[in-house]
Structure 1
């Protein structure tokens, strides 16, 4: 494992709040608003939005001066009012299996605001590169097996902040045209992009940030920019039933359900949201999910907890519940975190569970744990962030104390 804590360019204890805001992550309408702010005539804006879109999202440029198809005057006006800054990566960890986790600090909103911090994980595989993005700072749910669920919800991420996670990943992986690739970076066999798939499985419940996630997906899937097809984007939910239909109608992405139990009484404990939207209601929403078919199956995520939900009877009941739903079942070995009361099921028990599901006609891959050594695996996103944040604050406090001592000694 390689761990690098990146030094901030300026003291983060008192971040400088600039009047210039970044255009990274904006929708086409948002870019149009920016152009209107600097006086670009309405009849010209659509063309200029297209130019900005191409430079920002296809080429990933970080400086308006690089936009050679745009006149110098407009470039100067944009530079005076806006930036193309990405959020700050305050720490990067690389697992022994190649998984990368970034602790990302969003822009400050005031003189005493350090900026919201979230985690984003990149998982390289032979046939794809998957980016796991966050939709909230913290989480509004309290799933007992998930470490993120022990962190209180701070706020929703904006569309810009969600898109920025993909921009950060592509920037750091050299995944934009004419960018240098980092040492040891995963190189796709087909010559494609490093990031080929996105899963909304990071911090937060995506369907409790519906508008932000929807707008971000519009930006990410636009074929003139970041160009990730909606079939390569998966939104995972713990079961916000009223928003599942709208997700299909308005976003058209793949759907994943964090199920984890086959009985309401157990799921009420593991996923307390079940008390509001029980299993029967959740599965009915899945049966009517727009576009669901054998070519667009719903993924059901099932974490394997020793002696809790991993019996043969649980496997058979899972098969019964999902009858008639085009589905794939991802069995997830539990990823431990400090203080948890759960243990991962034994491997032979996981294999037996998988065999029962497979013989019933469902694909039931066992998800290979990735990034466990850096707490980047499923359900682990939280503790390392807090440790790194505390470490960074300690370093800053020490720097401030040293500076104060130096002034006193003069």
Structure 2
């Protein structure tokens, strides 16, 4: 039995090396991007529900972007706080702000996709750039950097949405590592030619892409997924590219309690159940191989079976994974996470197991 487990362990490591070198290496070792500014007409779209304090801070940062032709479409999704009033003040202050007021609709109660659809239809520009109400761009060149990757054929641009750093917080390190790992995955598969998701914190596409797939209609019953399910449906090898120049990044405040973050990740995982078969399969194989890697290491070393070979294979896997994730973290300006890789990886795997089990017995709550 131990011999069988040993060879299974070797197979699992081969799978892991394939992902880290064959897939994730496409992003980790890619050249830095250069920005070639374009003067495309852009609608920046922000959907908010009960985000009064965030929009006060972040909408001015969007309005101050150094870009010649853009509007900001602010969507108030039936907020119960003062979000709408704040938006109305911004509409008076900035001439390029367009306000969309969404009232509760019985058929689409609490559905962000319904609110976003109204905002997209109200937008006047040909290219759409999305971010969340609790996000802010890293520079005044955010629009310039994201739109620089549009071409005649590339009409979808996947960006990076990171989280702020909180010193001396191990939870913050796990959250940021999970965000990096997710970005490395969707950036790498997009470079290979198999794009499968993007994040609404930083995402751009030409308006025609929205109407080509009839918007969100095919997954309107799924409360989440206005970003990743849309990309899973609309993106392909020909029309999708990525943006990872630091000036194209956005950031938001991370969750500060494990419970809040855990519930957020439960929603994300439940949404992934609606991906295309291949995308679900490749994600499942990767995360399953991670879990079995650690289980088999513990079992084989506990019985001291071929322990020298096991340690050598363990060292090889960590050297490759650490190197790939280290280069990726550098590209995404998260260098401080490099040294924490073994710790945060293990904590993330334990959390993912917990999420999987919890989601079997209860459904996560979506949107506000």
User: By the TM > 0.5 criterion, same fold?
Assistant: no
Higher helix share: 2
Q: What's the TM-score, normalizing by structure 1?
A: 0.27
Higher alpha-carbon Rg: 1
Structure number with higher relative contact order (C-alpha < 8 Å, ≥ 6 residues apart): 2
